[in-house]
Amino acid sequence: MTLKRLSVVLLACLTLSACGGVDPNSPLGQRKAIFKQMLKTGEDLGGMLRGRIPFDGARFAEGAVKLDALSHEPWKHFPEVREEDHSSATDDVWRKQARFQELARSLEAATAELVTISQVQPYKASNLGPAVQKVEDVCSACHKEFRNH
């Protein structure tokens, strides 16, 4: 009897775990993947400026271009109506769409500015640091308004 119960519990756990993932092709899955790439790229850029990663000017400039390209992508994966999947996005994304779009455009402008500044040589932390900080500040502002933490 104990083996039978254990088998039922194990089967139930396996069944539930198979249902728990996010479909990578869903809007939620796609934007989560983009945000993860943005986070990784931004952490690398900040890490170079803060000494956690050795600074490499060419790699920094490539990262700035990558971050700029990524900054235009997640917004198209927010459907007009909130999806039923569990998301970190608050209802305000859909209720305050004008503000949400304003912050999205601010991020795009900040990453474009970072690309421009990352082309100036010789590379100087005094030039690059404020541009990276601006990107981080816009990300933070959007998270504070539109993300469940």
| Domain count within the chain | 1
Decide if 83 is inside a domain: no
Decide if 9 is inside a domain: no
Decide if 2 is inside a domain: no
Region 8-36: what's the mean pLDDT? 68
Per-residue pLDDT at 4 exceeds 90: no
Tens-place pLDDT, residues 64-120: 999 999 999 999 998 777 767 678 888 889 899 999 999 999 999 999 999 999 999
Per-residue pLDDT at 17 exceeds 70: no
Query: For residue 66, what is the enclosing H or E element?
Result: helix 57-70
Residue stretches of the annotated binding site for heme c:
139, 142-143
Residue stretches of the annotated binding site:
139, 142-143
Decide if 117 is inside a domain: yes
Q: Can you give the residue range of the structural domain that contains 125?
A: 27-78+96-146
Decide if 5 is inside a domain: no
Decide if 40 is inside a domain: yes
Decide if 21 is inside a domain: no
Classify residue 35 as left (phi > 0), alpha (psi -120 to 50) or beta.
alpha
Tens-place pLDDT, residues 27-61: 889 999 999 999 999 999 999 999 999 999 999 99
Note whether 49 and 55 are within 8 A (CB): yes
Cβ-based neighbours of 16, under 8 Å, separated by 6 or more = none
Residue 66 belongs to domain with CATH number: 1.20.120.10
- Rg (the chain; Cα; Å): 20
